[in-house]
């Protein structure tokens, strides 16, 4: 490396020293086939139903209590039959699951609450070779260079949105962030810019997507989904609204197929129309629909709430917020403070707080060898709050990540291995641009000095009051 490239690195690394550490090693991975007995770690002394309820509604209190009382590895008793989950937050266990052979530890997203909506065969819900086929097809569309071209569009969407905010009146940031991420998705995935003309298939689709997203946040829909787990078809209101969405989506797909310029367009739908799998096959309309809907649902609320959380944290940590604004306003960020702030935001408030794999063979998880077919959950939240990895873990310190790349098995808001979030580069680009635009153009205050609690919605963890802010001033 040239001395020119190395020079700025030194002070950054020093600044981060002592803010990131290491965990002591712990055994993990497929257990040797020596007939040794398997067993499960201890569970909190609560009835099954109460465990499930507490875990669904108050996951944070539940997992922190369990780790305090039981250690790094504990059992979570499910409500159904003998269903048992084992929860861990040790980076060596995470590594063993992320690097496992796919057939030995398939992802639990195949059992996701999104399954009845996006079907069993989308990149999110498929497992095994089928999953790899879809992933290979989609991966190039989300590569760093591919998302680079969205930067301008993201900045414009952010600016349009910021222009609408009231000065001096409290409002919730989370829905405002969702408006931006919806614009980005409609443009990036479907090539739909702004508000399309009434009566066009694009106009119908935009309205339908909005409806589905609004519905997915309603408690009754979540309950229906929870009760519908394991099935392949949606129920109730979700089914009605999805029918409407499907009609619009198929109308856009067929209009796009017929459009003379579709092979010149750069949006994901147009590219997928012509994409071929390794076996030289094209996606059917149904497959296209499932993939596109997966991308919309996986990418919208997650990115929006991640941004909302980062501001919720920043506004309660004035020194970090001030440094961010200075950097954003000077247009010079030699230490990578914006990126570090996003990393710290996602560390302290991972929007998806837990992910899992089902081990198909007996698996070593620290002191325990759990039986085949156990679902092993990785608590991202607990991992990110280990004080051996992140000293003073409840403090919000972007400096931890200055001059230091987040660790593959110690910072996992996007999961990892062959199931790592496909949209991670896009989500990072969105957060970088939107965070900078907001920090550059606005002065925000928290109307309430206390931290917002976390609320669980489907698989996500979101700020309970929507990240309320007051904008005291705005520049052009």
Q: Which residues bind ligand HEM (CB under 6 A)?
A: 107, 109, 123-124, 135, 294-295, 298-299, 302-303, 306, 351-352, 355, 413-416, 419-423, 426-427
Torsion of CA 203, 205, 208, 213, to 10 degrees: -110
Burial class (CB in 10 A: 0-12, 13-18, 19+), 457: middle
Half-sphere exposure of 336 (CA within 13 A, CB side): 20
**Nearest CA-CA partner of 370 in 379, 360, 378, 380:** 360
H helical segments located in 36-128: 48-57, 59-70, 91-98, 115-118
Nearest CB to ligand HEM, comparing residues 114 and 215? 114
Q: Residue 151 contacts by C-beta under 8 Å, 6 or more apart in sequence?
A: 429, 433
Nearest CB to ligand HEM, comparing residues 41 and 423? 423
- Round to whole Å and give the CA distance between 240 and 218: 14
Instruction: Please report how close the Cβ of residue 6 comes to ligand HEM at its closest, in angstroms.
Output: 31
Nearest CB to ligand HEM, comparing residues 295 and 467? 295
Nearest CB to ligand HEM, comparing residues 422 and 444? 422
Per-position b or e across 154-170, b if 16+ CB within 10 A of its CB: bebbbeebbeebeeeee
Nearest CB to ligand HEM, comparing residues 141 and 241? 141
CB 451 within 8 A of CB 316: yes
**Nearest CA-CA partner of 154 in 432, 471, 439:** 432
Instruction: Please report how close the Cβ of residue 196 comes to ligand HEM at its closest, in angstroms.
Output: 20
Instruction: Please report how close the Cβ of residue 405 comes to ligand HEM at its closest, in angstroms.
Output: 17
Nearest CB to ligand HEM, comparing residues 43 and 137? 137
E strand or H helix that includes residue 122: none
Instruction: Please report how close the Cβ of residue 198 comes to ligand HEM at its closest, in angstroms.
Output: 27
Going across the sheet that includes 442-445, the strands are: 170-172, 468-474, 442-445
Residue indicated by tokens 């969105």: 430
* DSSP codes, 147-199: HHTTHHHHHHHHHHHHHTPPSSSEEEHHHHHHHHHHHHHHHHHH---SSPPTT
Instruction: Please report how close the Cβ of residue 167 comes to ligand HEM at its closest, in angstroms.
Output: 28
- Round to whole Å and give the CA distance between 115 and 269: 21
Instruction: Please report how close the Cβ of residue 123 comes to ligand HEM at its closest, in angstroms.
Output: 5
Nearest CB to ligand HEM, comparing residues 241 and 376? 376
The 3-state DSSP class for residue 405 equals: coil
Nearest CB to ligand HEM, comparing residues 43 and 460? 460
The 3-state DSSP class for residue 219 equals: helix
Instruction: Please report how close the Cβ of residue 199 comes to ligand HEM at its closest, in angstroms.
Output: 28
Instruction: Please report how close the Cβ of residue 157 comes to ligand HEM at its closest, in angstroms.
Output: 14
Instruction: Please report how close the Cβ of residue 129 comes to ligand HEM at its closest, in angstroms.
Output: 13
Instruction: Give the DSSP letter of residue 82.
Output: T
> What would the two tokens of residue 210 be?
């909005």
Instruction: Please report how close the Cβ of residue 99 comes to ligand HEM at its closest, in angstroms.
Output: 12
Burial class (CB in 10 A: 0-12, 13-18, 19+), 37: exposed
Nearest CB to ligand HEM, comparing residues 43 and 127? 127
Nearest CB to ligand HEM, comparing residues 208 and 427? 427
Instruction: Please report how close the Cβ of residue 45 comes to ligand HEM at its closest, in angstroms.
Output: 30
Instruction: Please report how close the Cβ of residue 416 comes to ligand HEM at its closest, in angstroms.
Output: 5
Nearest CB to ligand HEM, comparing residues 43 and 377? 377
**Nearest CA-CA partner of 157 in 188, 181, 192:** 181
Nearest CB to ligand HEM, comparing residues 126 and 208? 126
Nearest CB to ligand HEM, comparing residues 269 and 471? 269
The CA-CA-CA angle for residues 471, 323, 173, to 5°, reads 30
**Nearest CA-CA partner of 343 in 424, 422, 416, 419:** 424
Residue 462 pairs in a beta bridge with 455
Instruction: Please report how close the Cβ of residue 50 comes to ligand HEM at its closest, in angstroms.
Output: 27
Per DSSP (E only), the strands in 187-322 are none
Burial class (CB in 10 A: 0-12, 13-18, 19+), 46: middle
Half-sphere exposure of 451 (CA within 13 A, CB side): 14
């Amino acid at each position: 490396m040239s001395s020119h490239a190395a020079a700025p690195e030194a002070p950054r690394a020093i600044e981060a020293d002592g803010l990131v550490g290491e965990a002591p090693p712990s055994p993990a991975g497929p257990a040797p086939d020596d007939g040794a007995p398997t067993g499960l770690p201890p569970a909190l002394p609560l009835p099954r139903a109460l465990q499930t309820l507490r875990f669904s509604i108050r996951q944070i209190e539940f997992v922190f209590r369990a780790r305090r009382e039981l250690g790094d590895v504990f059992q979570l008793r499910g409500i159904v039959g003998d269903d048992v989950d084992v929860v861990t937050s040790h980076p060596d266990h995470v590594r063993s699951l992320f690097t496992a052979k796919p057939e030995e530890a398939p992802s639990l997203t195949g059992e996701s609450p999104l399954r009845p909506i996006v079907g069993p065969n989308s990149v999110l819900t498929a497992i095994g070779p089928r999953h790899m086929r879809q992933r290979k097809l989609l991966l190039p569309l989300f590569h760093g260079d591919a998302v680079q071209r969205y930067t301008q569009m993201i900045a414009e969407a952010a600016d349009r949105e910021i222009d609408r905010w009231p000065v001096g009146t409290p409002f919730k940031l989370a829905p405002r962030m969702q408006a931006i991420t919806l614009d980005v998705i409609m443009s990036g995935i479907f090539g739909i810019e702004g508000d399309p003309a009434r009566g066009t298939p694009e106009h119908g689709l935009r309205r339908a997507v909005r409806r589905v997203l609004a519905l997915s946040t309603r408690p009754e829909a979540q309950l229906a989904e929870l009760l519908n787990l394991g099935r392949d078809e949606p129920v109730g209101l979700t089914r009605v609204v999805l029918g409407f969405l499907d009609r619009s989506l198929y109308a856009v797909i067929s209009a796009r197929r017929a459009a003379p310029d579709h092979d010149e367009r750069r949006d994901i739908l147009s590219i997928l129309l012509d994409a071929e799998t390794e076996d030289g096959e094209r996606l059917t309309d149904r497959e296209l629909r499932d993939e596109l809907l997966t991308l919309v649902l996986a990418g919208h609320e997650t990115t929006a709430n991640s941004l909302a959380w980062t501001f919720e944290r920043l506004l309660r940590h004035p020194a970090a917020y001030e440094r961010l604004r200075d950097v954003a306003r000077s247009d010079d960020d030699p230490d990578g403070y914006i990126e570090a702030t996003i990393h710290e935001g996602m560390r302290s408030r991972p929007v998806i707080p837990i992910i899992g794999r089902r081990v198909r063979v007996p698996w070593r998880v620290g002191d325990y060898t759990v039986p085949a077919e156990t679902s092993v959950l990785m608590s991202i939240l607990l991992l990110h709050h280990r004080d051996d990895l992140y000293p003073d873990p409840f403090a919000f310190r972007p400096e931890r990540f200055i001059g230091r790349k987040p660790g593959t098995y110690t910072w996992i808001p996007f999961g990892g291995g062959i199931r790592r979030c496909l949209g991670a580069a896009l989500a990072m680009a969105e957060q970088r641009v939107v965070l900078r635009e907001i920090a550059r153009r606005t002065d925000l205050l928290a109307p309430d000095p206390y931290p917002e609690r976390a609320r669980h919605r489907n698989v996500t963890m979101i700020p309970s009051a929507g990240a309320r802010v007051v904008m005291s001033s705005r520049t052009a």
